[in-house]
Structure 1
Amino acid sequence: MAQSTSIQYLKGIGPKRAKSFAAHGVCTIEDLLYYFPRRYEDRTNFADISELKEGQFYTIKAQVRSSRSHSSWRRRSFSITEALLTDPTGDISCVWFNQPYLNQYLKTGSSLILYGKVQLYNARLQMDNPEFEFVGGEDDDSLNIGRIVPVYTLPQGFSQRSLRQVVKNAMDEFLPKINDCLPFDLRTRNNLLNLAQSLLNIHFPQSMDLQKQAHSRLSFEEFLVFQLPLVLRKRKRKEKKGIQHTVDGRLTGDFISALPFKLTSAQEKVIGEIKADMSSPMAMQRLLQGDVGSGKTVVATLASLIAVQGGYQSAFMAPTEILARQHYDKISSQLSGLVFSGRKVRVALLTGQDKEKQKICREIKDGKIDLVIGTHALLNEELSFSKLGFVVIDEQHKFGVGQRALLPKKGNNPDVLIMTATPIPRTLAITLYGDLDISVLNQLPPGRLPVKTL
């Protein structure tokens, strides 16, 4: 059998149990090998009941002294199962809620391994809803006793013991045949285990140190797989020619001079990074991150004017009509006094509800609009640009990946600036998958109060 074989053909599975695994995303033998434990129990050294302390999680091995199930005196339909567990050092009470069937299994004298948090109730220690596992006559079982034991999220119809055995059977058969995608020299340079050792120690670790090494190696492989497409996209982008803008001009200088405030050092630094990109023959793909009020819009406006002064059009896309109108009002006001080639900079607003939508689209197509600010309406297939050279996408996390790619396609590989005030966690994913350089505005303008996120 190959690793791509359906799990139902593995010993102890079959079609019915395969459906239970499928509900957890495990369909093939390879999926099973990568179905990792959610935690571990160190069964080489159980905690003594006499040493338990309130508020801590423990794994104990004990025998049932007595058990009973009864209804809550407040809610008759709510059942409570109680068991008194004992080991040579003392006793502890364990309680399970709304599981009356447990009383059938908690027979006096039966041995259990329990894991849970110790609480104080009525001046005595107890475990509420602890996870437990029965210990039968096979106490010397090498998978379940006397070692660090994996604890899995259980598919329906499985116990921890039976699932461990299924995983062990699969590993015994397939680990000797497994191919490692990481070359030997790469593993050596980064002090990584091979794949077979990693899978063995992530499921049945010989020590927690080896488990951490296995986790590190598997994480390394996962991030490497994430990064490879990024490297290939970067190479491809370098091979594809973009627009080489002239970044210094009278229009951008007049814009900065007309601002009623002085740019922060962070804004000046980011503008320098953007100018370096836009003066390059390769297309810019840059993420601009900064808190609300840090001055991202001013930076984006200046970058848009770099394209405009070179004879190109700029497009500024916002996720909502309200935000688009706010940008339009603010930017129009800032540009109202500027003269370019004997005329004013022509700014337009395009939204889905605009009554003059058709007229604005014609003017954009004819090159009569220098900077268009709009919503998803900019993605309309009927809209075309005369000479699109720069694209700004605000609040990028509110657009889908496909949507973000549509607007730049309306130009000949234009420069793209993506803005966000919430870089984590979604922007981290975009950084991994989207081939973006990063600029950060980490300084607020003078007099601006810090943003508090509640």
Structure 2
Amino acid sequence: MQFGVDTSLDTAIGAKTAGVLAKAFDMRTVGDLIGHYPRRYASHGELTPIRSLPIGEQVTIVAEVRKASERQMQARRGSLVEVVIGDGNGEMSLTFFNQKWRLGELRPGRRGIFAGKVGLYKGGLQFAHPEYELFDDEASVDAARWANTPIPIYPATAALTSWQIRKTIEAVLDKLGPVPDPLPAEFAAAHKCIPARDAIEAVHRPETVSQAHVARHTLRMQEALLLQTALLQQRAEVRRLHAVSRPAGSLLERFDAVLPYTLTPDQESVGAVIAQDLVGEWPMNRLVQGEVGSGKTLVALRAMLQVAQTGGQSALIAPTEVLAAQHLRSIAKMLGPQLAPELIPTLLTGQMPAAERRKAALRVAAGQSRIVVGTHALLSESTTFAELGLVVVDEQHRFGVEQREMLRAKGTAPHALVLTATPIPRTVAMTVFGDLDVSTIRTMPAGRAGITTHVAPLADKPSWFGRVWERAAEEVAQGRQVFVVCAAIDAQKELVDGELPPPVEGEATGPRWGVVQVAEMLAVHPSFADLRVAVLHGKMHSEEKDSIMRAYAAGEIDVLVATTVIEVGVDVPNASTMIILEADRFGVSQLHQLRGRVGRGSVPGLCLLVTEAEDATPARTRVEAVAATLDGFELAEVDLELRGEGDVLGDAQSGARSSLKLLRVVKDADTIAVARAEAERLLEADPTLATHPALADAVARRVTQAERAALGKS
């Protein structure tokens, strides 16, 4: 019996193994299994650098047995087999309880693949009861060929080792029939791609390293073409919907007439593109990216006024209560006494008192309020709109696709505008937001004093910690305000707002400084005796958070000690200083976002990145990269290269976009661009892919219904 890519794994390998694979990797079909590619290749002659193994992680290595012995245990009955494996530079131990027979297999000089969780024992590295597969001693028949044959090392789990996955895949490959080629023949030839069936065979069972390279190149090109085709099909789906035309009129003219400042060139050009989108035949689906403080909210508000002109409503959904409340205040202020009473901007959040929330919901349902700002409360079934014409999503990466779809479903093909202050590299925009039109605001409003950033490296200069607090007190003495940001609420309890950022390289401990600890320290610090210090974090009630932010914005608080709850949108022009403790625990883009909270007015901004990370570690490199430039777009590229796109894309981009297999958006930028152009050419000539059935089928398999729904909801 031959298998096809759609054959169920139950049929191909039996229910038991299929069940393990389904649980570990969500695999259901032969196509899923053969699409589980090796993460790297080892060789029989290669020895892995044992010294560099990460403690606490599941790893697979190639090593040689150095010595093996058995001894009786003292604390309990039975014996312990201890084996030492090495690579010429370092050694580690393997331990087995009551398994004397292992001595017959693990003889000195034998080589093999060993897999387990790296632990520490008596100061050395250890595998306890590892899985292993020894190389065949008879393989020296053709020694040179054997030594150079690549060994695929697969992403594995504790329940399923790399070689168990390899053997399962090999058993399936032996019975795998023809695989339709998704790449058009001319395109494949032009880009030196091999047939699909050959690529699958060569990626899993290469005879040489170069054979594996060619296979991976082909499969990367396939993946890029499938994803770009799916994204462009989704864009076409949106363009088949009919949108209500929303031409600009007197509302926007009156607003622009009283605007106290002129728009920046980018605000004008992006605004003009959005205005054109709003009168188009299909719904706008646009992403606007721009630095913190570049004026994205103003651009969005002008779009809301254009929609309000025709009686439509706009809903702006923000990730936090604090940000939603601030957006409403900011919008009401920009509209002024002339326009605000006419448009009735309304706040709707889950934490509002019930009576107040009911009144707000009624204004929205009746269509009295044409601008609605809120959090997830806007998604609840009880929230209805009279005529929802525009959905504005602030900070795209904080919302899952399902949540955005719930809001869009409250209108009839409403326009969608997505705002982000996290600059997105071109390749990520193409891969992740490929169905959205992307606009960028680079120019900053005039009159900004700018920001200076310094690293306070406590590993080299511990005395700088004291100087940081003196510097903060000096700023307050000049009538300015200070932010202090911590990675946790309470470091002793490890209470964290959101996900704890990665720890310092080589350390397993949690954060040392939480909001609680900093507040306690400042309470007894002589320089802060007369200063007004307050704390802010996500576990506080929303009314309390809002009241603290209002007091800080009004200048009634000198120093605000907070978690990353202040990361986005908080606008206090008098805030001059941002102190980020344990800065190495934050990502590059997060540090850049936090820094953007200061230097927003005429007061020069100062950002102090305090870190105990050692020089030349990845953690320290991250912090120094932020200090080296204020260009968020440059930092976004650095972030991708330092962390990889898995972190940058985040889980919120669920579905096909983030489940990249071989593609890497930085390394494979050219491949993605080539695939995009080919997908555009194919769909322009053949929108249903009727003449490319293999590509159509591959897209349907690769982008499942759930993933396609996810694409549709963005």
Q: Per the shorter chain, which TM-score range?
A: 0.7 to 0.9
Structure 2 residue aligned with 1:180: 181
Structure 1 residue aligned with 2:110: 111
1:151 counterpart (140, 143, 153) = 153
Shift of 1:160: 6.5
Task: Name the CA shift for 1:285/1:82 in 2 (closer, same or farther; >3 Å).
Answer: same
What amino acid is aligned across from residue 148 of structure 1 in structure 2?
A: P
Structure 2 residue 338 is matched with structure 1 residue 338: yes
Shift of 1:330: 1.1
Task: Name the CA shift for 1:244/1:28 in 2 (closer, same or farther; >3 Å).
Answer: closer
Shift of 1:199: 0.9
More helix by share: 2
User: Can you list the C-alpha shifts for 1:202-261, whole angstroms capped at 9, x where unaligned?
Assistant: 1122333332221122222223332333222322322322122223x4432443343444
Structure 2 residue 210 is matched with structure 1 residue 209: yes
Residue pair 1:316, 1:394 contacting (<8 A) in 2 also: yes
User: Can you list the C-alpha shifts for 1:163-182, whole angstroms capped at 9, x where unaligned?
Assistant: 655533432331x5333233
Task: Name the CA shift for 1:444/1:195 in 2 (closer, same or farther; >3 Å).
Answer: same
More strand by share: 1
Structure 1 residue aligned with 2:201: 200
Structure 2 residue 93 is matched with structure 1 residue 96: yes
Percent of matched pairs sharing the same residue: 30
User: Can you list the C-alpha shifts for 1:377-398, whole angstroms capped at 9, x where unaligned?
Assistant: 3233344333332221222333
Structure 1 residue aligned with 2:277: 277
Equivalent position SS for 1:104:
helix
Structure 1 residue aligned with 2:456: none
Structure 1 residue aligned with 2:321: 321
Shift of 1:327: 0.8
Task: Name the CA shift for 1:377/1:148 in 2 (closer, same or farther; >3 Å).
Answer: closer
Residue pair 2:232, 2:434 contacting (<8 A) in 1 also: no
Residue pair 2:393, 2:418 contacting (<8 A) in 1 also: yes
Structure 2 residue aligned with 1:170: 172
What amino acid is aligned across from residue 193 of structure 2 in structure 1?
A: L
Residue pair 2:149, 2:207 contacting (<8 A) in 1 also: yes
Structure 2 residue aligned with 1:191: 192
Determine the C-alpha separation between the residues in 2 that align with 1:158 and 1:346.
59
Shift of 1:40: 0.9
Residue pair 2:343, 2:368 contacting (<8 A) in 1 also: no
Structure 2 residue 441 is matched with structure 1 residue 441: yes
Task: Name the CA shift for 1:212/1:361 in 2 (closer, same or farther; >3 Å).
Answer: same
Which shows bigger deviation, 141-150 or 198-207?
141-150
What is the alpha-carbon root mean square deviation over aligned residues?
4.2
Residue pair 1:317, 1:394 contacting (<8 A) in 2 also: yes
What amino acid is aligned across from residue 241 of structure 1 in structure 2?
A: H
1:349 counterpart (347, 350, 353) = 347
Equivalent position SS for 1:337:
helix
Determine the C-alpha separation between the residues in 1 that align with 2:348 and 2:160.
58
Task: Name the CA shift for 1:61/1:399 in 2 (closer, same or farther; >3 Å).
Answer: closer
Task: Name the CA shift for 1:141/1:246 in 2 (closer, same or farther; >3 Å).
Answer: farther
Equivalent position SS for 2:416:
strand
Determine the C-alpha separation between the residues in 1 that align with 2:279 and 2:388.
16
Shift of 1:286: 0.9
Determine the C-alpha separation between the residues in 1 that align with 2:282 and 2:378.
24
Task: Name the CA shift for 1:97/1:295 in 2 (closer, same or farther; >3 Å).
Answer: farther
Task: Name the CA shift for 1:172/1:145 in 2 (closer, same or farther; >3 Å).
Answer: farther
Residue pair 2:63, 2:85 contacting (<8 A) in 1 also: no
Once the two structures are superposed, the pairs formed by residues 293-312 of structure 1 within 5 Å of their partners are 293-312=293-312
Determine the C-alpha separation between the residues in 1 that align with 2:334 and 2:162.
66
Determine the C-alpha separation between the residues in 2 that align with 1:70 and 1:60.
26
Determine the C-alpha separation between the residues in 1 that align with 2:265 and 2:212.
46
Residue pair 1:251, 1:338 contacting (<8 A) in 2 also: no
Shift of 1:144: 5.7
Residue pair 1:242, 1:283 contacting (<8 A) in 2 also: yes
Residue pair 1:144, 1:161 contacting (<8 A) in 2 also: no
Residue pair 1:112, 1:135 contacting (<8 A) in 2 also: yes
Determine the C-alpha separation between the residues in 1 that align with 2:377 and 2:160.
53
Task: Name the CA shift for 1:233/1:141 in 2 (closer, same or farther; >3 Å).
Answer: farther
Determine the C-alpha separation between the residues in 2 that align with 1:108 and 1:361.
75
Which shows bigger deviation, 252-261 or 97-106?
97-106
Equivalent position SS for 1:440:
strand
User: Can you list the C-alpha shifts for 1:46-82, whole angstroms capped at 9, x where unaligned?
Assistant: 58x9xx99979xx9886x564346799xxxxxx8945
Determine the C-alpha separation between the residues in 2 that align with 1:115 and 1:104.
15
Can you give the 5+ residue segments of structure 1 that lack an aligned partner in the other structure?
73-78, 117-125
Structure 2 residue aligned with 1:291: 291
Determine the C-alpha separation between the residues in 2 that align with 1:83 and 1:380.
60
Equivalent position SS for 2:41:
strand
Determine the C-alpha separation between the residues in 2 that align with 1:147 and 1:311.
69
Determine the C-alpha separation between the residues in 1 that align with 2:257 and 2:432.
38
Shift of 1:416: 1.4
Residue pair 1:67, 1:106 contacting (<8 A) in 2 also: no
Determine the C-alpha separation between the residues in 2 that align with 1:153 and 1:337.
61
Task: Name the CA shift for 1:145/1:19 in 2 (closer, same or farther; >3 Å).
Answer: farther
Structure 2 residue 264 is matched with structure 1 residue 264: yes
Structure 1 residue aligned with 2:232: 231
What amino acid is aligned across from residue 351 of structure 1 in structure 2?
A: T
Residue pair 1:21, 1:155 contacting (<8 A) in 2 also: no
Task: Name the CA shift for 1:201/1:309 in 2 (closer, same or farther; >3 Å).
Answer: same
What amino acid is aligned across from residue 170 of structure 2 in structure 1?
A: K
Structure 2 residue aligned with 1:123: none
Number of aligned residue pairs: 424
Residue pair 1:314, 1:370 contacting (<8 A) in 2 also: yes
Task: Name the CA shift for 1:140/1:31 in 2 (closer, same or farther; >3 Å).
Answer: farther
Shift of 1:107: 4.8
Equivalent position SS for 2:138:
coil
What amino acid is aligned across from residue 203 of structure 1 in structure 2?
A: H
Residue pair 1:351, 1:377 contacting (<8 A) in 2 also: yes
What amino acid is aligned across from residue 289 of structure 1 in structure 2?
A: Q
User: Can you list the C-alpha shifts for 1:263-291, whole angstroms capped at 9, x where unaligned?
Assistant: 33332232122122113222111112233
Can you give the 5+ residue segments of structure 2 that lack an aligned partner in the other structure?
54-60, 74-79, 116-123, 452-591, 595-622, 624-714
Structure 2 residue aligned with 1:119: none
Determine the C-alpha separation between the residues in 1 that align with 2:368 and 2:431.
35
Task: Name the CA shift for 1:280/1:210 in 2 (closer, same or farther; >3 Å).
Answer: same
Determine the C-alpha separation between the residues in 2 that align with 1:46 and 1:431.
36
Residue pair 1:17, 1:157 contacting (<8 A) in 2 also: no
Once the two structures are superposed, the pairs formed by residues 355-434 of structure 1 within 5 Å of their partners are 355-422=355-422, 428=428, 432=432
Task: Name the CA shift for 1:332/1:191 in 2 (closer, same or farther; >3 Å).
Answer: same
Residue pair 1:66, 1:85 contacting (<8 A) in 2 also: no
Structure 2 residue aligned with 1:221: 222
What amino acid is aligned across from residue 275 of structure 2 in structure 1?
A: K
What amino acid is aligned across from residue 104 of structure 1 in structure 2?
A: L
Residue pair 1:150, 1:203 contacting (<8 A) in 2 also: yes
Once the two structures are superposed, the pairs formed by residues 22-41 of structure 1 within 5 Å of their partners are 22-25=22-25, 26-41=27-42
Task: Name the CA shift for 1:141/1:28 in 2 (closer, same or farther; >3 Å).
Answer: farther
Determine the C-alpha separation between the residues in 1 that align with 2:302 and 2:39.
50
Higher radius of gyration, 1 or 2: 1
Structure 2 residue aligned with 1:121: none
User: Can you list the C-alpha shifts for 1:368-419, whole angstroms capped at 9, x where unaligned?
Assistant: 2221222233233344333332221222333332221232333332221112
Equivalent position SS for 2:172:
helix
